[in-house]
Structure 1
Amino acid sequence: MQRIEFPLEGEYVELNQLLKLAGLCDSGGAGKQIVASGAVTVDGDVELRKTCKIRAGQLVRVADVEIHVVAR
């Protein structure tokens, strides 16, 4: 499993933007499609809200990639 540590700037990042910024897709629109497909979990639960606010300390998983969101 690939592990990405994402340093959060600010209070939160929207889930679709996180997928883009982490390099898992090319655009926020593509990130929305990935979320809508049910392929994304946040802290172990499937997340279907495309603009869900992701904060430091949360774990996002897509396929075999884990994104650990950490405070900057």
Structure 2
Amino acid sequence: MDIQDEQKLAKAGDLREAENYGESSKEYTESLISLIDKQDYQARNNARSKSTPTLNQSLSALMPTRS
């Protein structure tokens, strides 16, 4: 969670306390969607980095080893 997410959640909490439930729900929902999107993006990047060899790994596989 970054600062923007924290600010949105704080704003949603303030709106709820002011009994502005519609706007509060909207802010909470947008915050949750943002967090889910970020987690999905990170998970995809982690999966990609684990399954895709780096350039050095690819070159090492092609180069014969020296004895």
TM-score tier, shorter chain, comes to under 0.3
Whichever of the two has the greater Rg, that structure is 2
Structure whose residues are more often helix by fraction: 2
Indicate the structure whose relative CO is greater, using CA pairs within 8 Å and at least 6 residues apart: 1
Q: TM-score, length-normalised on structure 1?
A: 0.21
